Amino acid sequence: MWVTGKCAGFCAIALATTVSAAAAPTPAVRPMVRPVPAVSSAEPLVYQASAPTASLRPVLRPLSADLNAPELAPTASANNGFQRWIDGYRSRAIRSGISASVFDEAFHGVQYNTNVIQKDRNQSEFTKTIWEYLDSAASDTRIKNGQAALSKHREKLERIEAHYGVKKEVIVAVWGLESAYGTYKGSTQIIEALATLAYDGRRGEFFEQQLTAALKILQNGDVRAAGMTGSWAGAMGHTQFIPTSYLSFAVDFTGDGKRDIWSEDPTDALASTAAYLKQSGWVTGQPWGVEVTLPSNFDYAAANRKNLKTPSAWAKLGVRDMQGRAVPNHGSASILLPAGSQGAAFMIFQNFAAIEQYNTADAYVIGVGHLSDRIEGGPAIQATWPRGDRALTFKERKELQRRLTRAGFDTQKIDGKIGPLTIQAVRAYQHSVGLKPDGYASLKLLKELR
């Protein structure tokens, strides 16, 4: 899970203890805040599409399971300015309710971590197309390991599913994308990483908020500072919760008095993920989405997240599932075209938005949803992708925004993020020159604008 700027990345399955089916999980009693999805531990992929809500997550992280690369050893260095910042922050933390003893223990040996800064600086240039991301997200290895994880932990996952109503395959898929089913949780010391990022100042307010939340977790006794490890950007445990998300959603499902998302037993982490999705609007029994075919006369301007229709209404417009049937009426849905008219089309439901609260990138949500379908035995995505295309670089995305704005199609921001406003501008431009208004920000489109 993650932070905006969405940074972080993440299969052997650990043995877990069992719990009486009658034992109800103990939810977090901290005040509820709007979730800020957590991070994993590698540079993020820069893929953004039409997320309907704002988030402080990074855009999209690469998938550690297929990378299988060890984390770099942290490079800490003496920094007098950093120590002065810690001294000043100590008083703020104590005013917020952190005890002096907890603070001093947590900050013992903490130094300025230059690796964390280097990773934070290098986020924006990491790019992949959605099909490259999905090739990894739902690779044969990840599917096989996901099925093994589901089999090994079926009893606890069925109890979690029964309690929260969140499909067990979806919980497993989040686990697979976030930490390769627990094999890549990250080994960075969270207090040092968050303190470094808070001092650095680029997103200092956000990271100081996370640092204070991490100290509250320590003060609550769920984990000791030495055991609070995770990604360079502050995401922790099997399913990569950042500290504020942990305070809001983590649960003690084992009943041992601790909300332990770090241990080899993944029970609390998996239940916490289900609690997160449930409180984000998960609808029991509804799919995240369904791959569909579109008629030849489809109005691509209708593929808009705000354009909601029942599946039966979409069927009247010629939208069918991959077997040529009308999609069952699971609720209101919109059409998503993550690669424009040349790629796969999906009819997406409320549960897409629920997963999106965990990570706002469309590619991540499709990755979770599709991996969960494959773990359950479903087919691969059947449509072809425009594999001759490459992802735009960060500089090219900013150039696209500048050129669209100069041409009279204002993107509102020149930030290199292809979000709803840029997609809207792309569609308006496409419509003005007689192209299919599918909103796809491609290299071909940029060349036409040039």
Q: Transcribe 199-259 into DSSP letters.
A: HH-TTHHHHHHHHHHHHHHHHHTSS-GGG-EE-TTS-BTTTTB-HHHHHHH-EESS-SSS-
Please report the domains of the chain, with CATH numbers, ordered by start residue.
Answer: 26-279 (1.10.8.350), 289-369 (no CATH), 394-449 (no CATH)
Assigned token pair, 376:
């359950």
Structure tokens at 129: 């197309």
Task: Please tell me the predicted confidence (pLDDT) of residue 122.
Answer: 76
The reported pLDDT for the residue numbered 53 is: 34
pLDDT at 8: 35
pLDDT of residue 138: 97
The whole-number pLDDT of residue 191 equals 98
CA 65 to chain centre: 15
Please, are residues 43 and 61 in contact by the beta-carbon 8 Å criterion?
A: yes
- Within a 10 A sphere around the Cβ of 244, how many other Cβ atoms? 24
Cα 431 to Cα 408: distance, rounded to the nearest angstrom: 13
**What pLDDT is stored for residue 121 in this prediction?**
84
Give residue 126's pLDDT: 58
How many Cβ atoms from other residues are within 10 Å of residue 386's Cβ? Answer: 16
For each of the chain's 450 residues, which pLDDT tens digit applies? 543 333 333 332 222 222 223 333 333 322 222 233 333 323 223 222 333 333 333 335 556 544 344 444 445 555 889 999 999 999 999 999 999 999 999 999 999 999 999 998 876 555 789 999 999 999 999 999 999 999 999 999 999 999 999 999 999 999 999 999 999 999 999 999 999 999 998 889 999 999 999 999 999 999 999 999 999 999 999 999 999 999 999 999 999 999 999 999 999 999 999 999 999 999 999 999 999 999 999 999 999 999 999 999 999 999 999 999 999 999 999 999 999 999 999 999 999 999 999 998 999 999 999 999 999 999 999 999 999 999 999 999 999 999 999 999 999 999 998 888 999 999 999 999 999 999 999 999 999 999
Residue 91's pLDDT is 97
